[in-house]
């Protein structure tokens, strides 16, 4: 498919690329096949695709996977794809908003091994990526197309501007690899930013346990809730219930090898994890 064919297809159905949905359509079939190669999709896989778009990536996935379930939020696109039979037989097209659907139920219902492939607009990328972390035990991996700024947030190192709770949660549970950078010309309409194709694979031995994950996330989010404050002040003024005392936080920082006046961005994911564990021990009254 070419940009001209994209315009023709949209015109036949009185559709426009919607800015509110972050629609920038991938249209290069050969590039889509390359992305499927990078995603490692195999003949036994069930793939759940988030964001059907024009079906370019969907068709490439269907050439390789045992089954493809694809989710599209735009009702006009769903009607057009069905009207022109744009998707291969056997592909299940579901009109739904990924932010509202029961994605976990779809994964549970799918025949394993299950992979997710997604082309995520900037406005929902971080939210969806966080939801995918909750599904990591049921997935082989997931591959996501995101704006480069989102990719930098997920892979950020301590001390960098983009480092925050999302990077910490990923570092503790998954491995994130940037497999490819895509130029704006790969999409229609042409966006103003570059995109990155990320491969996300659950760690064989995650650093954080399932039962403590929620608490670690709460501490990480609280730690970065006031980036300009010291970690002690951020945690003291956060929504943690009950809020830890300054002394308890200082004791926990001492145990993880951090100074009392440190800011959150200076702690490694491992230190944040240990900090959360010490604060939990303090909260439970452990010695």
| Span 74-119, pLDDT tens digits | 999 999 999 999 999 999 999 999 999 999 999 999 999 999 999 9
Cβ atoms of 46 and 113 within 8 Å: the answer is yes
Give backbone dihedrals phi and psi of 273, rounded to 5 degrees, phi first: -60, -50
- Sheet with 46-50: list strands edge to edge: 92-95, 67-72, 46-50, 114-119, 141-147, 195-202, 174-182
pTM of the model: 0.92
Determine the average pLDDT of the residues in 23-30.
90
CB neighbourhood size of 277 (10 A) = 19
Question: Hunting for tokens 């995520």 — which residue is that?
Answer: 120
Give 215-273 pLDDT, tens digit per residue: 999 999 999 998 889 999 999 888 788 888 899 999 999 999 999 899 999 999 999 99
Percent of the chain with pLDDT over 70: 99
Domains of the chain: 3-202 (3.40.50.150), 213-283 (1.10.8.100)
- Residue 36 banded pLDDT, cuts 50, 70, 90: very high
- Report pLDDT for 287: 47
- Residue 213 banded pLDDT, cuts 50, 70, 90: very high
């Amino acid at each position: 498919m070419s940009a001209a064919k994209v315009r023709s297809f949209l015109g036949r159905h009185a559709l426009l690329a919607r800015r509110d949905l972050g629609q920038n359509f991938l249209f290069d079939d050969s590039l889509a096949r390359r992305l499927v190669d990078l995603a490692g999709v195999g003949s036994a896989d069930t793939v759940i695709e988030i964001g059907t778009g024009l079906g370019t990536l969907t068709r490439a996935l269907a050439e390789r996977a045992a089954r493809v379930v694809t989710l599209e939020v735009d009702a006009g696109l769903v009607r057009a794809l069905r009207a022109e039979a744009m998707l291969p037989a056997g592909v299940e097209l579901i009109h739904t908003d990924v932010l509202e659907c029961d994605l976990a139920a779809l994964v549970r219902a799918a025949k394993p091994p299950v992979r997710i492939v997604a082309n995520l607009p900037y406005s929902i990328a971080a939210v969806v990526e966080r939801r995918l972390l909750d599904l990591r035990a049921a997935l082989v991996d997931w591959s996501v197309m995101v704006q480069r700024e989102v990719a930098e947030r997920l892979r950020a190192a301590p001390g960098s501007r983009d480092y925050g709770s999302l990077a910490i949660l990923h570092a503790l549970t998954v491995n994130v690899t940037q497999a490819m950078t895509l130029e704006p010309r790969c999409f229609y309409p042409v966006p103003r930013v570059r995109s990155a194709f990320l491969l996300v694979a659950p760690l064989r031995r995650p650093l954080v346990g399932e039962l403590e994950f929620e608490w670690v996330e709460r501490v990480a989010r609280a730690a970065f809730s006031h980036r300009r404050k010291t970690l002690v002040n951020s945690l003291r003024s956060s929504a943690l219930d009950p809020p830890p005392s300054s002394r308890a936080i200082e004791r926990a920082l001492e145990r993880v090898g951090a100074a009392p006046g440190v800011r959150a961005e200076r702690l490694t994911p491992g230190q944040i994890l240990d900090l959360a564990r010490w604060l939990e021990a303090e909260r439970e009254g452990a010695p």
